Chain A
Amino acid sequence: MILPALFFYLFAGVCVASAVMVIVSRNPVHSVLFLILAFVNAAGLFVLMGAEFLAMILVVVYVGAVAVLFLFVIMMLDVDFAELREGFLEYLPIGLVIGAVFLAELLLVGGGWVINAGTAKSITAAIPNNVSNTEALGLVLYTRYIHYFQIAGMVLLVAMIGAIVLTLRHKVNVKRQDINVQNARTPELAMSVRKVASGQGLQDVDAAEWVQ
């Protein structure tokens, strides 16, 4: 019993500490790296609760895609974060108010959990005992919920077509690799042997001929 508790405090402690660092660190790249650390620790917490699927998704989607995207955006956009931070103290009161509201909500949720622990169970389906939750999801996703899965696939298809329609431009004057032309080249086409008279060079050769 002591080991899970130790791991819980390890993950939770690192998670909260890195979340704090996300906000206070001066360098935005450091912020994103701390954000990744927070995500990984949250994934650890999920594993402790037996939700290994959520843990994997968190690592794959948030760490693998979203955080890396953040990193790219921060590196590419020239945002002056020092300037953004100038009003930090000015906004502190309203930030504290919002923080207090969140804290109160959390306490209410926690309180409800303690007072009536059965509420959550009464309106959710029972958790199957002998299958892991990845397997449980897999069992219904492609059978009972096949129609949702397919329509979600169509939505993604639309997203893909949309991205292509809105961004792809066929430019005319761009050099593209044409493998057939490359293969059809013979030594006769590609090179010519000349006798070069000393001190005169190859003045008669058109430069374009060499580019081909």
Chain B
Amino acid sequence: MSFESAGYQLLPVLPELVLALGAMVLLMIGAYRGAHSTALVTGLAIGLLVLTGLLELALPAGKAITFGGSFILDDFARFLKILALIGSVATLVLSAEYLADSSRRIFEYSILVLLSTLGMMVLISAGDLIMLYLGLELMSLALYVVAASNRDNVKSTEAGLKYFVLGALSSGMLLYGASLVYGFTGTVSFAGVAAAVKTGSIGIVFGLVFLLAGLCFKISAVPFHMWTPDVYEGAPTPVTAFFASAPKVAALAVFTRVALTAFPGIVPQWQQIVVFVAIASMALGSFAAIGQRNIKRLMAYSSIGHMGFALVGLAAGTTEGAQGVLVYIAIYVAMTLGSFAVILTIKRNGQQFENISDFAGLSRTNPLLAFFFAMLLFSLAGVPPLAGFFAKFYVFVAAIKAGLFTLSVVGVLTSVVGAYYYLVIVKVMYFDEPLPKLDPVRVELRTVLGIAGLFNIFFFAYPGPLVSMASAAAKSLF
């Protein structure tokens, strides 16, 4: 029995294979050359991620299913994998300064980011529950370690431990749900589950709830968000930027895929869960962020809120809704990476500052930086004509067309509340007494901020490519 004839083509998994083998080669380079190879390994890791992305784009278009249905490569997977890879590349670029510090020259950091990215790619392409779980664990396990990578810092260690314990709990819930779904349908593949589930029996709904609870934890949606602020605050800032971008993409992708392809027969059942989670996340993300003093905690609540907005699109359960989710997550990644690039620049005399008050008077000391950050904040708040407005626009239009009026109204109201705390930062930057000038901004931070900031400002001029790609990706799910 040859591999190809049994439906086990290797071509669709070529990018994953390259990434896995490359990560192991880099591990060997690092292990043999020791700690002073950190910069080399990081550089090669960035190259490897770019190569993986190019391979992903070079693969023949259309839908390919391999490994007996457990690996699906379609436009949806391609779109989100590229996005996750962009998030990982940006993280490694932002980490350059963190890794250059002599006290923590750990080359394994880049390897762990690579392996975590591999997990995300597996997760995005998962076609059955086992693949989903394996991808999720590969992604999360590496994340727990990088959260604690600054191991001499108590907060970082605490973040890693907290994330690990709660992550293990959520994995347990996810597995319990998966076992119930398997028990009631007799299959683990999404297509098989979809064929078996026509009516929402109590057992299936139980399984669905636990499955979605496990996934909600990964996208940090309320009521499974408790870990987010502490982990975001405690983890080293480049790691926080990673947490807020690529893993969210992968988890939201699998959330969408499970809901739309495994349970299309019981849309009303999961729709009410998603609507509740979306409303709760948007509300908590807006109100809880108001009292925050630490910018990383604020970004944590902001990401909780944004996941709520993205789920509004999913709640619609239509092609348009899925397209809205994809556009939202793409713009969210750009805004988040840009914001974290700014947060990383707040250094005075070599010391990193994380409080909102440390941004005081930035407009007079670093006007360009302040301008870009203000634009990113306006965009996060959803002010037109910036990118963040279009992100919200697409999900709300989809929700209204699906008749979810309450959800849309709550969403718009909470985004108004959310605008308050973003504007407070703008006020601190533009109207407070300036603090001493920042250290010179490193070139890699400028690059990331420049790309994210320009995308954010000029998205309205040329939204076509992203929207049409998202539309094609969304169609491949139905």
Interface residues, chain A, with chain B CB atoms under 8 Å away: 122-124, 143-144, 146-148, 151-152, 154-155, 157-159, 161-162, 164-166
Contacts and interface: CB of A to CB of B under 8 A. Distances in A.
A147 B71 contact: yes
A165 B38 CA distance: 13
28 contacts: A122-B186, A123-B186, A143-B1, A146-B8, A147-B71, A147-B131, A148-B70, A148-B130, A148-B131, A151-B135, A151-B138, A154-B20, A154-B118, A154-B119, A154-B138, A155-B137, A155-B138, A158-B112, A158-B115, A158-B116, A158-B142, A161-B108, A161-B111, A164-B108, A165-B108, A165-B109, A165-B149, A166-B151
A125 to B, nearest CB: 9
Interface of B: 1, 6, 8, 13, 20, 24, 27, 67-68, 70-71, 106, 108-109, 111-112, 115-116, 118-119, 122, 130-131, 134-135, 137-138, 141-142, 144-145, 148-149, 151, 160, 183, 186
Contacts, number: 64
A116 to B, nearest CB: 15
Nearest to B145: A162
A124 B141 CA distance: 31
Contacts of A122: 186
B134 A152 contact: yes
A147 B160 CA distance: 29
Contact of B141 (A123, A147, A159): A159
Nearest to B111: A161
A165 B151 CA distance: 9
A158 B188 CA distance: 25
B27 A161 contact: yes
B216 to A, nearest CB: 22
A122 B142 CA distance: 39
Contacts of A148: 70, 130-131, 134
A155 B134 contact: yes
Nearest to A157: B115
A144 B183 CA distance: 21
Given A143-B1, A147-B70, A154-B20, A162 B135 contact: no
B115 A154 contact: yes
Contacts of B27: 161
A140 to B, nearest CB: 11
A155 B134 CA distance: 8
Contacts of B149: 165
Nearest to B34: A170
Contacts of B144: 162
A112 to B, nearest CB: 13
A42 B122 CA distance: 37
Contacts of B8: 146
Given A123-B183, A161-B115, 17 more contacts: A122-B186, A123-B186, A124-B186, A143-B1, A147-B131, A148-B134, A151-B135, A152-B134, A154-B119, A157-B24, A158-B115, A161-B108, A162-B141, A162-B142, A162-B144, A165-B109, A165-B149
B53 to A, nearest CB: 19
B269 to A, nearest CB: 21
B291 to A, nearest CB: 33
Nearest to A159: B141
Nearest to A154: B138
Nearest to A144: B68
Contacts of A162: 112, 141-142, 144-145
A123 B135 CA distance: 26
